[in-house]
Chains A and B, each alone.
Chain A
Amino acid sequence: MTSLPVRDDRAGLAQPGVLALLAALACAAAVASLAIGASALSPGTVLAALFGGDVAPRDAAIVLQLRLPRTLLGFGVGAALAVSGAMMQGLFRNPLADPALIGISGGAALAAVAVIVLGVPAAVAGLAGPFALPAAAFAGSLLTILAVQRVARGDGRTDIATLLLAGIAVNAIASAGTGYLVFGSDDRQMRDITFWTMGSLGGAAWPVVLALAPFALGAVLAAGRWAGVLDALLLGEREAALMGFRVEPAKTGIVIVCAAAVGASVAVAGVIGFVGLVVPHLVRLVAGAGHRLLLTASALLGGTLVLFADIVARTVMAPAELPIGLVTALIGGPFFLWLLIRRRRETLS
């Protein structure tokens, strides 16, 4: 089972080469993200701020309290979304699968919109405070996925087709609920909802980074465990079981880990579309479909894409800031189309 045919079905780059390239890109994105922003800070100032040199307090605060947490948060969100997307596409054997499909984002959005419109009950307001919205979004995504899984589970096994269909149904219900709340909202809340559903890393702060870290890291680390079974699943569920993989626990585990990771990302940065769906495809186009490489590479590329998108989001209109979801789609979409067209020409010729 270590030499499945999917491993190298494309004359892609060698594995270490791809990973080294992506890691280098990720580092470049992180450096750029720390160096570029609405405030013009010299590279020397940024370095001095990072390493405790002598800089004006406001410049130091911009680097340490705004840019550094934002860079880490952006990378974590991108990695979590992309690795979840890669796992979902493998699990469902469906190239269109992304975390939104099985209701995770919908459930998170419903809960977050409920907090924006209905407010936080006074009893928990003191406890949750600024974390009420992220906490609700996270709880919303987990509740949704538990409900979907319950529907799809029978005599000890989860039916993937039912899971997908139940996800679509739950998504529809959640978006109806969101729509109802939007209808009842005032002008101000409606603006908040609109901006929240387009995503932003503007709320990045150290506690937020710490809140996301276990989920993003956990998803990336856990993904490695499932690379083998995801490869085998490409051949079919029965085949994977015949090859000796314990398919059921993997299915449950993957769904829960994805829900937690995506729920946490949506909670801290709103809805950032496109990354979870397209980054795994980008990786497959250049490096083949083997999951051991795909999962790690997706995490790196997802983080990188979100960082670059965020740099654009906060500089093109500076001092104003664009919602990042617009930028991920605007940068990623045409690039993805270009890759598709190029590959189509290659296979035709």
Chain B
Amino acid sequence: MTTWLPVAFSLVLASIAAAAEPPARIVSVGGAITEIVNELGLGDSLVAVDSTSQHPPAMRALPQVGYMRALSAEGVAALHPDLVLLSDNAGPPPVIDQIRSLGIASRMVPDRPTVEGVAEKVRAVGSFLDRQEEAEAMARDITEGVEAVSAVVAEIPDRPRVLFLMGLGRGAPTAAGQDTAADAMIRLAGGVNAMEGYEGYKPASGEAILAAAPDVLLLPSDAVEAAGGREAILAMPQFAGTPAARHGRLVAMDTLYLLGFGPRLPRAAADLARALHPDRADAFPKPPADRS
């Protein structure tokens, strides 16, 4: 009686300790997943990330396993990971199968560009890393943060027409239609997607852009830089006749920040909402500064 109790007790303790021990070597494939791992305080366990994992900046110094849809099985195996976290957009499928068949633990993280999708993503990563409680708190924070933005947006009657351009391209610029992360962000921030009638990202003709009559142009910051700055873009013939050009309204945001649907979603939504509704800018919540 006196001997087995401590033994059993220490066994239970040991198993709890073992369960709470997160993997020591993690490979993360997916920008938002990498952000979540860092937010959960396990950034030091990351041994490699994919090329979409650009935040926090320290991630850029890690070995890269390539673009998330063009992974290499041996490349991943060479890192001796204890766990590979994969966005469910990762691929190609034969390589995912190879990674599994090498006996490397891998987990698929659902990746949907919606508010519920972010919470789902955070909870999934949390459960794979034995950080359920922290993940639950983070998911709640994100949901509440976005709700706070939505609450302000709901009281604003005007909905500016926003045209998101992925890039200016050489011919027609690529615009976001329905069913895109950009479309979802525009709606979250109290705007209307100026491009209607198609899904995904498509090249849009100058006429279609004029007809869409956007009040605001929304572009990735690097695309704005590449095109020679705000003024240069607003002066381009396909934009010059739009309300956006007349009022000089062009918003530039980092692509991963704006479209990543990760832990920074509430801040990105609030930032975009402030840019779309400058007269109400103060009404939007200012979340705490970026921790990373």
Contacts and interface: CB of A to CB of B under 8 A. Distances in A.
A250 B70 CA distance: 41
- Among A38, A40, A183, A314, the one with the most B-chain Cβ atoms within 10 Å of its Cβ is A38
Interface residues of A, number: 32
B75 A62 contact: no
Interface stretch (A184-192, A214-222, A275-283, A326-334): A184-192
B48 interface: yes
Nearest to A196: B92
Contacts of B76: 319
Given A62-B77, A203-B92, A319 B202 contact: no
Given A57-B103, A62-B102, A319-B64, A39 B77 contact: yes
* Residue of B70, B76, B98 most packed against chain A (CB within 10 A): B70
Given A65-B102, A317-B66, A37 B200 contact: no
A213 B140 CA distance: 55
Interface in A111-166: 130
B192 interface: no
B158 interface: no
A186 B182 CA distance: 13
B202 A66 contact: no
A319 B69 contact: no
B78 A61 contact: no
Given A319-B75, A321-B70, A202 B94 contact: yes
Interface in B45-92: 48, 51, 63-67, 69-79, 89, 91-92
A345 interface: no
A195 interface: yes
Instruction: Find the residue from A40, A61, A186, A320 having the highest chain B CB count within 10 A.
Output: A320
B72 A205 contact: no
B92 A319 contact: no
B101 interface: yes
Nearest to A189: B200
Contacts of B77: 38-39, 58, 62, 66
Contact of B79 (A186, A314, A319): A319
Chain B contact-residue range equals: 35 or more
B94 A192 contact: no
Given A39-B78, A58-B103, A202-B72, A319 B66 contact: yes
Given A65-B102, A187-B200, A321 B72 contact: yes
A323 to B, nearest CB: 8
A67 interface: yes
A321 B202 contact: no
A202 B92 contact: yes
Given A65-B101, A186-B201, A192 B75 contact: no
Contacts of B94: 130, 202-203, 205, 208
Contacts of B65: 319-320
Contact of A318 (B78, B89, B101, B103): B78
A326 to B, nearest CB: 12
Contacts of A317: 66
B260 to A, nearest CB: 14
A67 B75 CA distance: 12
Contact of A192 (B63, B71, B92): B92
A37 B92 contact: no
A62 B92 CA distance: 18
Given A202-B73, A319-B75, A320-B75, A65 B64 contact: no
Interface string B189-221: 000000000011111000000000000000000
A319 to B, nearest CB: 3
A200 B201 CA distance: 26
A205 B94 CA distance: 8
26 contacts: A37-B74, A38-B77, A39-B78, A58-B102, A62-B74, A65-B101, A66-B74, A66-B98, A130-B93, A185-B200, A186-B199, A186-B200, A188-B89, A191-B70, A192-B92, A195-B69, A203-B95, A205-B94, A317-B66, A319-B65, A319-B76, A319-B78, A319-B79, A320-B51, A320-B66, A321-B75
Q: Which 7 A-B pairs have the closest CB atoms?
A: A320-B66, A319-B75, A321-B72, A203-B94, A38-B78, A39-B78, A186-B200
